[in-house]
């Protein structure tokens, strides 16, 4: 590939420093594009064209830089419209034992048990080259209830109340999900008894 070609034609909307170098861009050209505002530095050698379609740049950085990253807890609850508050940081789950990446985006990293990590895990297209994981509403509720001593029980009860009002909400399915996590089932059953 020629360095004189339009770099926009050589690279995706989001790309890495390495990919830019492989496309023939010199350090001077990369940093010149950044300094001119043509590309945005997302962190950790990840860039995005400023003219790319609008997207949440923090979520793109997480998707690009953190393998198996999964939105969880308050962030997932907000995405499922189970809480009104906007989290001050992005709650991201990674499997326990994996390296905790340094991110530019404001994140709270949580390490979850690898044996239950994929339970209730779906994906979300955030405009990155790879999808970002997100836990289901049921998994997010179980997680927020089981660690309510860290996150605050008000959030857990608000989310559970709102979830129960949704068409198709199945307390039995929530209890079934809770069975996979030590100590979560009794807490979920007690909360449901109070709220139902």
- For 132-160, what is each residue's pLDDT tens digit? 999 999 999 999 998 876 666 788 889 99
**Nearest alpha carbon to residue 75 among 64, 87, 84, 66:** 87
Distance CA 149, CA 147 (A): 5
User: pLDDT value at position 154?
Assistant: 85
Does residue 186 sit in helix, strand or coil?
helix
Q: Which residues of the chain are modeled with pLDDT < 70?
A: 1-5, 149-152
User: pLDDT value at position 150?
Assistant: 67
Task: Enter the pTM of the model.
Answer: 0.88
Does residue 174 sit in helix, strand or coil?
helix
User: pLDDT value at position 195?
Assistant: 81
What strands, in cross-sheet order, belong to the sheet with 90-95?
A: 107-112, 90-95, 70-71, 132-135, 121-124
Distance CA 90, CA 71 (A): 7
Distance CA 70, CA 81 (A): 17
Q: Which residues contact 103 (CB under 8 A, 6 or more apart)?
A: 43, 44, 61, 62, 65, 66
Instruction: Write b or e for each residue in 174-186: b if 16 or more Cβ atoms lie within 10 A of its Cβ, otherwise e.
Output: bbebbeebeebbe
In angstroms, what CA-CA distances link 29 with 5, 6, 188?
Answer: 12, 12, 56
């Amino acid at each position: 590939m020629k360095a004189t070609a339009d770099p926009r034609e050589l690279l995706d909307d989001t790309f890495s420093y390495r990919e830019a170098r492989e496309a023939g861009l010199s350090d001077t050209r990369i940093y010149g594009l950044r300094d001119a505002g043509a590309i945005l530095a997302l962190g950790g050698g990840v860039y995005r064209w400023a003219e790319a379609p609008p997207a949440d740049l923090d979520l793109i950085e997480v998707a690009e830089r953190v393998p198996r990253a999964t939105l969880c807890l308050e962030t997932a609850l907000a995405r499922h419209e189970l809480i009104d508050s906007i989290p001050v940081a992005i709650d991201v789950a990674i499997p326990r034992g994996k390296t905790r990446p340094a991110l530019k985006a404001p994140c709270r990293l949580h390490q979850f048990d690898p044996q239950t990590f994929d339970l209730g895990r779906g994906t979300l297209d955030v405009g990155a080259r790879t999808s970002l994981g997100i836990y289901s509403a049921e998994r997010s509720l179980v997680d927020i209830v089981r660690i309510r001593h860290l996150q605050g029980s008000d959030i857990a009860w608000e989310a559970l109340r709102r979830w129960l009002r949704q068409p198709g909400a199945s307390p039995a399915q929530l209890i079934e999900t809770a069975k996979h996590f030590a100590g979560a089932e009794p807490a979920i059953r007690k909360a449901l008894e109070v709220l139902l």
